Structure 1
Amino acid sequence: MNLLHYRLKVLGFTIFSSVTFLASAQTKSTVISKPAKENSQSGKVVPANLNWSERMMLSEMHRFPESWMLDFSKSPKWTYPAAIVLDAAEKLYAKTGKKEYYNYISDFGEKLINEDGTIVSYDIEKYNIDLLNSGNVLLYLYEKEKKEKYLKALQTLRLQIDGQPRTKEGSFWHKKIYPYQVWLDGLYMGMPFYTHYTHDFTTGTAAQKSYDDVVLQFDSVQENLLDKKTGLLYHAWDESKEQAWADKKTGLSPHFWGRAMGWYGMAMVDVLDFLPKDHPGRARIISYIKSYADAVIKVQDKDNGLWYQVLDKAGAKGNYTEATASAMFVYTIIKSVNEGYLPKSYKKAAQKGYDGIIKNLISVEENGVVNLNKCCAVAGLGGKPYRDGSYEYYINEPIRSNDGKGTGPFILASLEFEK
């Protein structure tokens, strides 16, 4: 039997562990080297005496040793889920000063942005609004490191906004291959980046025009995707009413998908971080958050505090309490309370949801690694094979653990509760 000792540096202290390889039929118990005195959690990859925010972040870093791997990527690719987890890493670094968090973020920029500023796997001609989200990581890295390649990449992403196809009233299409379609997802994918970029790089009347454009996106969604009876918003709207999933009168998709609503809530609270305090659209977005939170709390499970894959179908066959949407709702509500967008009384619903996630959806392995379970892996509309937006479609999409679209919002929510 050979023993390979390797060192894991976690939070400034050193943990020694052992990997055992069998050379014969004879087996022996694994030897655990004596841990450093600073580590009270002997043999743990992730110590249990940390806050949930760090426990989940360290678990993600353990699962995905390089940040481009987040959300199960097989090779470096410019996609959106990693940026959500890295947003949380930014806030953890600001809170703790622990360099391993910063290095994890910085590595993403190094791997995904070439020295000439081109972006690995990115094609502007696709006009896919999802691909703006990781621009938030570059905004952060450029502010910290001032590397020219990040500025060039950011300017490319900003060019996409100028060319992004729109509906007649100015809402962005979700993708060029999805003509005339506005998805709730797109508000999160594009608007925090658009607002943050404007804040950092645009001045005068050009900045005002951009901020107005951002607010227009929310105004348009409230006008076209809101169900006035429930206060919930449908997953998507087809201006042309041509899609098989679209209602022939309204153009709306048939259901309220949990994560779509989750994206929308996070979009609103994150945009407000950079929308000027004196912008007239700011008060409207805050009013949308109030309406949104009221509607979301009405469909929160009264027993476990969680939310369902199809929000208004609790108890329907096959429906389930879903992790990514639950984490997003909790983050949106608790951040809104902390920022003063919602009264403090709303914290009760957020706390119930957060406790429900920890009790029902979190599992911890023997080595301390934390898992977030029951995450919907993906859901959309149209495409090939065709996604029809039916109830059966949503409840039958793959479910997995540790999806970045859930772990990221969970860390962000945890940080809000830890303030």
Structure 2
Amino acid sequence: MHTNTLTILFFTLFTFSVSGQSNYNLKKFPEGKMPQEIGMRIAEKFLNTSHSQYGNTKPPKPPKQITYPDVCTWLGGMWFAEATKNNKLFSRFEDRFHPLLNEDKNLIPKPNHVDNNVFGAVPLELYLQTGKQKYLQLGLKYADTQWILPKDAKPEEENWANKGYSWQTRIWIDDMFMITAIQAQAYRVTDDSKYIDRAAKEMVLYLDEIQLDNGLFYHSPEAHFSWGRGNGWMAVGMAEILRILPKKNPNRERIMEGYHKMMSALLKYQEEDGMWRQIIDDEEAWKETSATAMFTYAMITGVKEGWLNKKIYGTAARKGWLALTDYINADDELTEVCAGTNIMNSREHYMNRPRIVGDLHGQAPLLWCATALVR
């Protein structure tokens, strides 16, 4: 038998399971692992839980503001409701927002930090799906102030602003969801290209500054470790901006190049069971769910948008999804989620981070995956 024939035979056997269902099929899943079911479970969990700032402290402490993990889960829930055409579910996400316009106004974050400004993505999504003007003005405030230099700006913030970047620029990899998400949302609701143009310019800055030759990213120039969820923010940030970015945008090709380079690298580091690790390229690091969910989302999106080979990356995305669903406990909480993590140039810092159950850093990208699979 010729070598080419053997290769084709092997690939055919590899890409089909025993049941005859292709290993890269992103539409059919075993019972209990369907994205419609998982998405509803995670959405319900969020809707039936209070705001997350202080977690499950005893005695309970009221939050001081809405934080970005809540924002990410809120967005995921609304995206999921839209993708599944579940108007009643969407209304419940909208109802959760109403107190923030009235008795809970004090929980609305100040637009003074990259992690706070992403809050505006929620009212902008509400505007997109309802057309209610009360959401538009609130959301745009967070997009606009991300580029308006405050009076008490630090010299480095003023320096970034003078170069045309957000004054909130830090060159921390997390920023590439926090900045690009709110700017992309503003573009979607206004069709004003300034929002998506500056988001794309910002993304290219980060690609140039912290993408490594191997395709992965350091957490920051001062923290030389490829932290899982940090890389996840970049993977999702690129996937989302590419979904929205006009083809004529001068930075699109550069972002697509960085995206492909990262996706190729992630293939090499995916474990046999579909998971990725807390430090992606460290074989001793523990398997971490929030990063796995983010990488899975970026690959699902790439396959569905036609940017990635559906057999190669569809197989990886399917493995990632199936692996993640095994980490959901009976209370609809994702386990093995890395706690919020600051930069530090220390392997032990990342290796020893607390592993949280039900943390929204993990619940959110799990919802994103469910949404991407049913879109």
TM over 0.5: yes
Unaligned runs of 5+ in 2: 1-30, 57-61, 150-156
Q: Is the 8 A contact 1:327 1:357 kept in 2?
A: yes
Q: 1:350 aligns with which of 310, 313, 317?
A: 317
Q: 1:195 aligns with which of 167, 184, 206?
A: 184
Query: Cα distance, 1:332 vs. partner?
Result: 0.5
Q: 2: distance between equivalents of 1:404 and 1:222?
A: 26
User: Partner of 2:23 in structure 1?
Assistant: none
Matched, 1:61 2:44: yes
Change (3 A) 1:87 1:158: closer
Q: 2: distance between equivalents of 1:144 and 1:160?
A: 23
User: Partner of 1:13 in structure 2?
Assistant: none
User: Partner of 1:51 in structure 2?
Assistant: 34
SS of residue paired to 1:182: coil
Query: Cα distance, 1:128 vs. partner?
Result: 0.8
Q: Is the 8 A contact 1:173 1:182 kept in 2?
A: no
Change (3 A) 1:181 1:133: closer
SS of residue paired to 1:106: helix
Q: Is the 8 A contact 2:99 2:105 kept in 1?
A: no
User: Partner of 2:116 in structure 1?
Assistant: 131
Q: 1:325 aligns with which of 268, 291, 303?
A: 291
Matched letter for residue 324 of structure 2: I
Larger relative helix fraction: 2
Q: Is the 8 A contact 1:375 1:402 kept in 2?
A: yes
Q: 1: distance between equivalents of 2:362 and 2:52?
A: 15
Q: Give the root-mean-square deviation of aligned CA atoms.
A: 2.7
User: Partner of 1:103 in structure 2?
Assistant: 91
Matched, 1:307 2:276: yes
User: Partner of 2:129 in structure 1?
Assistant: 144
Matched letter for residue 404 of structure 1: L
Q: 2:217 aligns with which of 215, 226, 233?
A: 233
Query: Cα distance, 1:354 vs. partner?
Result: 1.9
Query: Cα distance, 1:336 vs. partner?
Result: 0.8
Query: Cα distance, 1:59 vs. partner?
Result: 4.2
Change (3 A) 1:213 1:340: same
Matched letter for residue 183 of structure 2: Y
Matched, 1:185 2:174: yes
Query: Cα distance, 1:372 vs. partner?
Result: 1.2
Unaligned runs of 5+ in 1: 1-47, 175-179, 238-245, 247-252, 382-387
1:90-139, Cα deviation, whole Å (9 max, x unpaired): 23322333344212320232122349x96734223xx3111222222111
Matched, 1:400 2:356: yes
User: Partner of 1:153 in structure 2?
Assistant: 138
User: Partner of 2:154 in structure 1?
Assistant: none
Q: 2: distance between equivalents of 1:280 and 1:100?
A: 40
Q: Is the 8 A contact 2:120 2:143 kept in 1?
A: no
Matched letter for residue 271 of structure 1: I
Q: 1: distance between equivalents of 2:340 and 2:345?
A: 13
Matched letter for residue 347 of structure 1: G
Q: 2: distance between equivalents of 1:185 and 1:105?
A: 25
Q: How many residues align?
A: 330
Q: 1:379 aligns with which of 318, 322, 341?
A: 341
Matched letter for residue 379 of structure 1: T
For normalisation by structure 2, the TM-score amounts to: 0.79
Q: Is the 8 A contact 1:71 1:404 kept in 2?
A: no
Q: Larger relative CO (CA 8 A, sep 6+): 1 or 2? A: 2
Q: 2: distance between equivalents of 1:313 and 1:233?
A: 14
1:356-401, Cα deviation, whole Å (9 max, x unpaired): 2223x233x2xxx4331100121012xxxxxx33111112222111
Q: 2: distance between equivalents of 1:49 and 1:355?
A: 10
Q: 1: distance between equivalents of 2:97 and 2:216?
A: 37
SS of residue paired to 1:328: helix
Change (3 A) 1:68 1:129: same
User: Partner of 2:332 in structure 1?
Assistant: 370
User: Partner of 1:335 in structure 2?
Assistant: 301
Q: 1: distance between equivalents of 2:90 and 2:72?
A: 15
SS of residue paired to 1:110: helix
Q: How does 1:132-281 map to 2 (within 5 A)?
A: 132-163=117-148, 165=157, 167=160, 169-172=163-166, 174=168, 181-201=170-190, 203=192, 207=193, 209-228=194-213, 230-237=214-221, 246=222, 253-281=223-251
Query: Cα distance, 1:282 vs. partner?
Result: 1.9
Larger Rg: 1
Q: Is the 8 A contact 1:309 1:321 kept in 2?
A: yes
Query: Cα distance, 1:169 vs. partner?
Result: 4.7
Larger relative strand fraction: 1
Query: Cα distance, 1:157 vs. partner?
Result: 0.8
Change (3 A) 1:221 1:63: closer
Q: Is the 8 A contact 2:71 2:118 kept in 1?
A: yes
Matched letter for residue 362 of structure 1: I
User: Partner of 1:122 in structure 2?
Assistant: 109
Query: Cα distance, 1:183 vs. partner?
Result: 0.8
Q: Is the 8 A contact 1:66 1:107 kept in 2?
A: no
Identical-residue share of aligned pairs (%) = 25
For normalisation by structure 1, the TM-score amounts to: 0.71
Query: Cα distance, 1:170 vs. partner?
Result: 4.6
Change (3 A) 1:50 1:93: farther
Q: 2: distance between equivalents of 1:308 and 1:65?
A: 30
